[in-house]
Amino acid sequence: MSIKVVLFDLGDTLIGTSLSAFETFQKILEHEGIYVSVEEVEKAFVMAKEELGNVFEELIGKMPSPEFYHMWDSHVLKALEVEDNGDLAREINKQWMDMSGITIFPDAKPTLTVLRGKGIKTGIVSNAYEEEIQQICEMVGLDDFDIIVGSDTAQKAKPDPEIFLYALRKLGIIPEEAIYVGNDLEKDYRGAERTGMIPLLVVREDTKVSEPVKYIGGLMDLIDYVVNS
């Protein structure tokens, strides 16, 4: 059966950042005159995730974007024992995109161009909010996608199969005619696999893959899968 669409994850698949999430958070706090280490921020992320528990995964996409990120940033600040009346958490969200150093991977645009030249539809399915995805795409010059689905669009987040199936239904394409490319084994690969799509794990640089999965070393390697499927 021929491939009709390739859907992509966004972060660490089509785009990267010059700073990690921990480094970005630390840099914003430093900009606001608050000095903590990256290691302290990393520990605070873990503590915030533990405190929120399943609530974090359950609410992503269901709460409005500013409220969701405000909730998360407030919990991280609490774990860091940084006092905040709400303004600092809002400032972190406001500065995040500029501070994180978002860049597009060099193989993203050439791959999309080749796929589209072969008549293959392209799209993004991400746990980010749809408006956020649109902003990032505009920032790095990614455009002409046939569909963009965020966790708020589908009211589900990866690895829930429904977020992938939502995109396919909108395109009128069955899972067997679709490839999903992402960098996260559970959220991207396993989530897409459960729908019947062809999942591909993108593994950049010299990272070793211990699981028996289909993987590519870069996005241009995807073309062979499309041609041979």
For residues 222-228, average pLDDT: 83
Which range has the worst mean pLDDT, 32-46, 54-68, 104-118?
Answer: 54-68
> Rounded to whole angstroms, how far apart are CA atoms 174 and 152?
22
Task: Give the confidence band of 206 by pLDDT, cuts at 50, 70, 90.
Answer: low
Predicted TM-score (pTM) of this structure: 0.92
> Rounded to whole angstroms, how far apart are CA atoms 216 and 229?
15
In order of 132, 133, 159, 177, the CA distances from 137 in angstroms are: 9, 6, 22, 25
Return the number of other C-beta atoms located less than 10 Å from residue 138's C-beta: 10
**Tokens 């608050």 sit on residue:** 34
In order of 61, 88, 102, 211, the CA distances from 149 in angstroms are: 11, 29, 20, 28
pLDDT in tens, 5-39: 999 999 999 999 999 999 999 999 999 999 999 99
Q: What is the dihedral of CA 207, 158, 117, 14, to 10 degrees?
A: -50
User: What is the pairing mode between strands 102-104 and 15-17?
Assistant: antiparallel
Q: φ and ψ at 129, to 5 degrees? A: -75, 145
